[in-house]
Each structure stands twice: as C-alpha cells, then as structure tokens.
Structure 1
C-alpha cells in the first residue's frame, strides 16, 4: 500500500481539518462516511487509544460524557485538574480533583499529534482497519464493559467475524497432552456447530484453539495485548497471518505497541466480553487464565471449565472455578455448546444410527436422509426451511428427502394450529 505523507494538524478547534487526513481516515475505517464530523471523531479516538492505557475507567467515563473530540480538545488546550473536574461535572460525571490531577498526569505526556499521525500510517502500512462504537461492524457485546470498554479496535482481517456466535476458549500456556487433546476435541465440535472461536493467540491452549478452528475452516478471532500488527509471541506470526485471512486479529492498542503485563490482563476483558460464554480447558491456580474467567463472571457471561485428573496441578485452576466460582463442568463439545446457548440444534452431535429407525437389514442409509434426520430435534419440530439450512441442503433437496423419509415412516408432518408453515418431526419409536 502506498502511504501518502500526512501533514500535522493545526488548531484545536478542528482536529481533522485537512481533507487529505479525512480521506486517509475514511480509508482506514473502510467507511463511506467521509464527513468532517466522522473524521474528527475517528481521529480523536485514535489519539485516545495512544493517550490512555487499556481499561482506563476515568477516560472511558469522560469520553462517554463529553465525547472523544471535546475530551481531546481539553487536553490540547492545557486544561487544569479543576477545569477538567468542572467540565466533567457539567456533563454529569463525578470526578474528584485529585482523580483529575492523576488522570492528567497519565495522559498529557502522551498527547502527541505527530505520533498519532504515525499510528495512522503504521496502521495503513500493516493493512489494518479501525472500527469504533456505532460502526456496523462494532461488536456490541463490548459495550457491556461500560467505561472500561475499548475506545476502538484495530483489526487485521474482516471485522464481520465479530458478529458470529462465538465461544471464548482460554487456558494455560504450558498445556499438557491432556489439555491439548481435550481442547482440540471440544473446539472441533463447537466449530462444527457453527461457532467461531475467540482466544488470545498465546502459547498452549490458545494456540490449540485457534489452530483447531482453522483446521475446521471456522472463523477465529485473536485478541492481542500489543498492536494488531505485532505478533506476540513472535513465533506465532504465521498463525496470526492465517487467522487474519479467514478470521480477524484485533487489538485496542495502537500499531506497534508492545504488550505489557498490564495490557495482557486488560486484553483478557475483551476476550471475555466478545463471546456469550468463556471456557477454560486447562489452568493452574496461579494461571493468568483465571483473570479472563473473572472478567467473564463480572460481565455475567456463562463460564465453564474442563476438569482434569485430581492429581494434575495443570487442572487445579479449573477445579477451583468449578468448586468455588460456580463454573459449569464441561466434558465435551455438546456441553460446551449448551454453555454458549445453543439449544435444540445440539442434535448434530447425535449418532444418527440411534434415531434412524428400522431401515431394514444392513442397508446403507442415503447421506441426505442422515443429514435431514440430524437436522430434526429429538423433541419438537422444524420447518422445511430450517431443516434445509441445518442439513446443508437446498430447499428442494430437503423437501424431496423429507417426502422419502415420510414414506419410510421416519418423519411425520406436524400441523401446529396458527403456524405459518408446516413443520416436520421425527417419528418416535416405542
């Protein structure tokens, strides 16, 4: 990508006054909105992603009350702690003078327009895009973090994957053979059920979860503690490249930012927030993975843990989550899908032979028959369109197969009073 030199901005009243800057910001956001207002707000959020550390609640409250532009303008204008307190108070935020003084001490040394322009250049050179709250691609689950939500996300890959139903899978970096095996087995089943996988691209369990999703040709999202263009660990550069092709790599830190211990801990809140459920497959009692579990619990997300041998130190953290924190005990993919909120579609994990009925001798069941039977719940019924979607067949193919199965007395029509469409159900054998 050819990068056009970006001029420094002048004047605190218009943060993105130069049309050239507006054009670059629009390209970075992949957004058709090239208005001055959108460019101003976007540039301000990019600046704040450098100014404040992840999870800075004071900054989050200020931006929510005053907006990113006005908040940044106050810093550029050299606001005093008292002035910042008064501005926040007028906007409905209760900010003590000492807290305002502490915040300005953190923020002001990082207010650097030249560095913000370089952040934009680095992002474009790395083929990153930016999404912010209010964008169509913004994962609204992150809003549950309140004032601790990220100001934006730098993304390598397609942000559309944030909208997919997902399960966050985390665990120890020093994974055992048991942890590796059980993680791969569960993730493979979860992906087969249509979920994407969210994790942190670390060694051990994270890497197994990502690689299993890639092998299953399912989307996977990696959340990094540093910049989205900076592989960490470095040996996972190839893995992250593959994830960015079929999924997404994201970070709230500016491009090139180094991961730190604090940023790793704060990164975990995003992993927990991006999914409806978090599963810990292996972790010791001192594992940083328990930090992610804590964020999930605070957010009210479903939390699950895989048990291990009682003699295994590597599973002691999982046992603690189950015993002391009410984590659901998860032993297979079906239970993991239940944790994530998947209901009657769980019949995909059934052995078709258990419900196929008496097809006569050892005759081999046509594949379409098995797929349609698997698409029907053990109890209840589904419409033709629902059956076709779950079976991976066209509506015409599903209709023909249902007719054949009806003749074989494997399925039956269910006429529900008031239903807009006719439904189909399995014939229950006595």
Structure 2
C-alpha cells in the first residue's frame, strides 16, 4: 500500500484503509473511547499510537497493555487478502458504498465494515427495515417473521437482521424466497458461519444479499459482541420490528438503539399468556408502535402517503338491510312466535309498515310466518 495521498477510488486513502483494517483486530465493536481517538487523531495516528508505549488519553495501563498485544499481532494486509479471496471488501466511512446513517452512532460508529455480497450497500440500506426477535421462537413467530420479510422485500425494502436462529433466519428466508434484498449483520467475521446450523443461509446471504461484520476475518462471536452488533442493525435501518422477545431478550436492545437514534420502533403482538411475547408487549406499552404486517411497517417508515390498506370488514346479510327493517327484526323475540301487533308495538313501527318489513324479512329467510304469527329462523350469513 502506498502513502496517505493515494486512494483506491473510495473515501479513504490506502494508508487510512489499512489502519482501519488493523483497528478491527485491536478494538472491540462500539468502543466509544477508541471512537473518540479516531475522531481526534484519525485512523493512521490512532493505529500508530497503539504500537507505542505511551497510552492515549482516557485509557488505563492494564487495558492499554492488552490493546498493544492485539496491535502487535495485527496483520491488516493479510486480512484484506483473505477477504478479497472470498470476494469480499472492506468499507470505510466516507466510501461511496458506506451507509451514511451509521454516522448517527457518533463515537460508537463502526471503525469499518467487512462486507460480502452485492454492490451498492448504501442504496440498499436507504430503504431498509430490521426484523429481529427470539432465537427459540414459536411457529407463530417464525411465520410472522417470514411473512414480514417477504412482504417488505416485495415492496422493494431491504430486510436487515442478525442471521441467528429463529426470527432472524425466518425474516431472511422470507426475503430470499421472493428474490428480495436482505442483509445479515454478524457478530463474528464474515468468513465464519455462526450459528453453524445456519451455514447454508449465511452462504446464501453472502451470494444473494449482503453479509456485514465489524470484526476481522476469523473472529468468533461473544455475548457482548452480539449485543453491540445490534446497534449497527438499528442504525442501518429506518425502523426495527420485534416479532417475539422475552423481557430480557437481546433483540430488545436493537429496539432501544433504534429509539435512541430516532428510528421507528415497532412490535408484533402475541398471546398475552406467552412469555415469548412479554418483551414485545412491554415495548408496545412504552415507545413501540403496533404492527401486524408489512404494509403497516411501510406506512410508518416509508414516504408520506404510503398508507396501509384498511382491513375489509366481513359483510353479513343483515348489514345490507334498511334500518327500519333491522328495527323490526331486532324486535322479534327468540324462541316464540308473536302477532304483527306485538312486533309493531315492540319496534315502534306502524302495523302496516311492520307487515311489509316482515314480508321482506321472510323473503330473505330471516323470519317465517306461522298462522298470522311471526318468528325468527336461522338466517343465512
């Protein structure tokens, strides 16, 4: 790689790109202290300082020693070669393909993104929605997530999730099933299939959609990395939908990040007796908005005027009756026949008009006449 003034066609120079690649080996995702160093000194000076004995501001001696150990082991050129061999690339802030909405994370912004998949990530992310939820979801949760993924994709929206078991996988598969756009944000290297049971899905995401990671190739996930990964999912999208989640579910952290960043937070309700929906219901009681389908999600995150269709109300035969006829029908008692005069008095309708309305109801199958008395039948619909 050559000097500071040379670029590779993106927003970063070769030197800056190598420095950011090295930093993905050295600092953990979402490290706001490291983010403040990047803001103050830039990637090249920050990476260089991590190889020196004098600590940067704000860091303790013990942590500095750990960072220096990682810095000594970093091999950025080799990491780039590894990913290039897999058909991937490394994105830096300022690159043409960099999703600008990630900058909303400020000092928690990713140092860079390792990416596999199609080009034009920035354009795909401009119309994107996160669909997240429980790993051990119910059949209901998997069905809803799949329908949301497919519905959003069919309307031209990119579905973003974490490629985990359960809701995440169902949302990705729903989008892929209709040939739609979908992004998997990993808590490990983009060359690591985790969880192993989703290996085939993760491979498809890398070929037909996108795989993104903050961690260098070969890195494996940890519990904190899963939680920190969620901030990228939230920042990348216009809104987050939680399908199923317990009260302490990690997927709720994605919704909290979305709310913090001014994005829409949405939840799909479940049975009030289901512990797997308790976290979603808590979200809905606070800042979340209730959604039941892709059109309702798009109404919230899409352009003005993208309104969800009003659900059709089932039309019953009695809904088509004239109000005066309904009044006569409602006056008839259940289980016994009564004369016209009784119905007229009960409905407050003149006897002649009552007789006409009863004739109409008989023709429609609502009532029957028995020796000048009238009683209810079991009307159709």
Same fold, judged at TM 0.5 (above): yes
**Aligned residue for 2:175?**
213
Listed as ranges, the gaps of 5+ residues in structure 1 are 1-15, 86-94, 353-430
Partner in structure 1 of residue 85 of structure 2: 125
Residue 180 of structure 1 and its aligned partner are, at CA, apart by 1.4
Match of 1:259 among 216, 221, 234: 221
Structure 2 distance, partners of 1:111, 1:237, is 31
Q: Are residues 1:307 and 2:269 paired?
A: yes
- Alignment-derived partner of residue 386 in structure 1: none
The residue that corresponds to 2:211 in the other structure is 249
SS at match of 2:284: helix
Please list, as runs of the form range in 1=range in 2, the aligned pairs for 1:148-297 lying within 5 A after superposition: 148-164=108-124, 165-297=127-259
CA deviation profile, 1:173-211 (whole Å, cap 9, x unmatched): 011011112222223222222111000000000000000
Aligned-partner SS, 2:241: strand
Contact 1:132 1:152 in 2 (8 A): yes
Tell me if structure 1 keeps the 8 A contact 2:158–2:180: yes
2:148–2:174: 8 Å Cα contact kept in structure 1?
A: no
In 1, the alpha carbon distance for the partners of 2:240 and 2:98 equals: 20
CA contact 2:135–2:166 (8 Å) conserved in 1: yes
- How many residue pairs get matched? 309
> Residue 183 and residue 114 in structure 1: after superposition, are their counterparts in 2 closer, same or farther (change >3 A)?
closer
Structure 1 vs Structure 2 CA RMSD: 2.3
Alignment correspondent of 1:147: 107
Contact 2:299 2:306 in 1 (8 A): no
Specify the structure having the higher radius of gyration (Cα).
2
Contact 1:303/1:339 (<8 A) preserved: no
CA shift for structure 1 position 287: 1.3
Q: Secondary structure at the match of 2:292?
A: coil
2:111 aligned with 1:136: no
1:60 alignment partner in structure 2? 35
Which residue of 2 is the match for residue 10 of structure 1?
Answer: none
* Contact kept? 1:277, 1:340, Cα under 8 Å: yes
TM-score (norm 1): 0.68
SS of alignment partner, residue 67 of structure 1: helix
Q: Alpha-carbon deviation of 1:103?
A: 4.7
Q: Name the structure 2 match of 1:51.
A: 26
Would the alpha carbon gap of residues 155 and 309 (structure 1) be closer, same or farther in structure 2, given more than 3 Å must change?
Answer: same
2: CA distance, partners of 1:346 / 1:193: 13
Correspondence for 2:291 among 319, 322, 330: 330
- Give the alignment partner of residue 72 of structure 2, picking from 112, 117, 120: 112
Task: Describe the shift of the 1:245–1:346 C-alpha distance in structure 2 as closer, same or farther (beyond 3 A).
Answer: farther
Partner of 2:337: none
